[in-house]
Chains A and B, each alone.
Chain A
Amino acid sequence: MRRYVLRRLLLMVPTFLGITVLTFSLAMLAPGDPFQLDLETAGLGAQAVAQQRVQRGLDAPIPLQFGRWLSRVVRFDFGRSLIDQRPVLDKLAEALPRTALVAGLALLLGFGLAVPLGVVLATNQKRRWARAVELLLLAAWSVPSFWLAVLLLMLFAGPRYLPLFPVQGLADGGFVLPVICLTWPTLVIATRQVRSAMEESLCQDYVKAARARGIPERRVIWRHALRNSLLPVVTMFGLHLPHLVGGSVAIERIFGIPGMGLLAFDSIGTRDYPTVMGVATTMALVTMVSMLLVDLAYGSIDPRIRLERAG
């Protein structure tokens, strides 16, 4: 077990390097830099801009800059923002909990509701209401969460109808609407996944065998079949995380939540390279670690999976 984890951690290194190189070169290749923007707005002299660039090491060749950045990051030093001169680590420490709150709640709610809903749908396939719910799910899948956000804002935050929630920010229950918007797609996708996995396991021989042994139907469904359907669902859980983070960029922007998504968006817009890299690194680490946890979870869900050999 320990060897497997160690191996996986080592395999993360090339992936991590790939992501950082990709982000770094993309950020650097984008036209303009923060000092150029300064020049345009504050009317700074070209010489002052050049001086600033040299001071922050932006005049060095890109590979060299990347090397410097990497050597600092392994010592947990993400540098300072080029815009407000604050340590990037502080900015990340502010933004991450907000995104974690909203996205985490959405993830828990989405998958927490999807499992019972998917099971109920799979076991009642022939019923008319189950078909209706199914159609509803297909319809819900097609609704952009962004549209949902605009409608919710209009109905529940705008002054005209039911001003229950604030238009911007997380305080005063402001997290409710963004959580709904992020839960929505998660719930729909996860329910479909649980349902199809359940349908498959319910046709398996061991389910028949369990029924034949006189085990109560409820136990057959919720213990025997469900446990065997969880594997693809857990896989999806891991793969869904990057999507959720991506989706949170638009949602955070709509609801004015200063989280990771908004930080990423703003820092890319202002070419604040250290912050861009900080956000990308954090998100990559979070995703990779959660993928590892998912793989580790396989072993406890399905003891047949031997991690050491599969790795």
Chain B
Amino acid sequence: MRRLWGDRGGRRSLLFLGTLLVLALGADLLASDLPLAVRLDGQTWWLPCLSRPVALQGRSLADAEWSWRTPIPWGPLQTVASTGEERPEPPPWAPDAHHWLGTDELGRDVAARLLHGARVSLFVAVFTVLISLGIGLLIGGVSGYAGGLVDAVLSRLLEVMQTFPLVFFLIALLSLIRVQSLWPLVLALALTRWTDVARLVRAEVLSLESREFVLAARALGASPARIITRHLLPNALGPVLVVATFGVGSAILLETALSFLGLGVAPPTASWGELLTEAHRTLHHPGAWWLALFPGLAIASTVLAVNGLGEAVRRSFDGRS
């Protein structure tokens, strides 16, 4: 970690991703239809944007004695109908002082949707990689260590997964499990993304297995489970971390593509992929450039930072060996 911080590219990526994480986690405090604090009917509410009290639902903030709005005073799902904004022309509206990054066709604020979408997209990407890492480590480790028939069967499984166009697999899997939550999406993505990790871990295990320290551990009577978890996996960690970091980037991109195919996060929820899809849907509004530009920039800069981090991780492990 310290080595990463010492690396210029690594530090820049870490700073960017850290900021993004804070923004994404704090999305409710930064962009919400409810204020940070409000005094209404002689009662003071603190952070209603987080707790969303029933008493405030449907109340107009114009009646409040005072209120402290979030920096972006729009919720991600607020349409023109619910904000009651009146303008001569129908949305989408170009960026202006009210809507910093413009609105979409329904009058939803793009900045608010981007912030809330960041949370969804990052959640999907990070958990996809964590789960696929688990599957990959398990299958790759077992396959490399056990060898023989187990290895032959698992290798064939790997080959099937690699030969098969994964998007087909995802389409089929996601139309199979259509639930309005993020976990099925995460699971489906993880089920297709473990192959890189598994292949790598298997190769690493095969090359480490005959090294002296492993032979020594075996001679001392260590169990296979102990050898795998204490000796082999920690030593294979470097390249695996590199692959995992790059995996976050491609998971973000994959989520985008899936959203476009209508298989990602269910529509009203904002995710970066959903925002880009929205942009494509509104292509018939020629000149609504803000709809395509900002989500695309958000995705590209995040993936760039993740990939930069991956390069930095690679450099720091190269330096060690």
Contacts and interface: CB of A to CB of B under 8 A. Distances in A.
Interface string B146-172: 000000000011011011111111011
A154 B168 contact: no
Nearest to B293: A151
A144 B296 contact: yes
A281 to B, nearest CB: 11
Contacts of A247: 167, 257
Instruction: Give the interface SS of chain B, mostly helix, strand, loop or mixed.
Output: helix
B276 A147 contact: yes
Number of chain A interface residues as a range: 35 or more
A69 B261 CA distance: 28
A152 B307 CA distance: 24
B289 interface: yes
B176 A29 contact: yes
Contact of B165 (A26, A29, A167, A246): A246
A264 B164 CA distance: 13
Contacts of A159: 286
Contact of B280 (A14, A243, A254): A254
A246 B300 contact: no
A299 interface: no
A66 interface: no
Contacts of B167: 245-247, 249-250, 261, 264
B175 interface: yes
**Chain B CB within 10 A, most for which of A154, A239, A280, A283:** A154
Interface residues of B, number: 44
Interface string A225-269: 000000000000001001101110110011000000100110011
Given A142-B301, A142-B303, A249-B167, A265 B160 contact: no
Instruction: Give the interface SS of chain A, mostly helix, strand, loop or mixed.
Output: helix
Given A142-B307, A151-B292, A159-B286, A19 B164 contact: yes
B317 interface: no
A246 B276 contact: no
Given A30-B176, A246-B167, A268-B168, A138 B300 contact: no
B261 A250 contact: yes
15 contacts: A14-B156, A27-B172, A141-B307, A142-B300, A142-B304, A142-B307, A144-B257, A151-B296, A153-B280, A153-B283, A246-B167, A249-B257, A249-B261, A253-B260, A283-B165
Interface of A: 14-15, 18-19, 22-23, 26-27, 29-31, 138-139, 141-144, 146-147, 150-151, 153-154, 158-161, 167, 239, 242-243, 245-247, 249-250, 253-254, 261, 264-265, 268-269, 276, 279-280, 283-284, 287-288, 291
Interface of B: 156-157, 159-160, 162-169, 171-173, 175-176, 249, 253, 256-257, 260-261, 276, 279-280, 283, 286-287, 289, 292-293, 295-296, 299-304, 306-308, 311
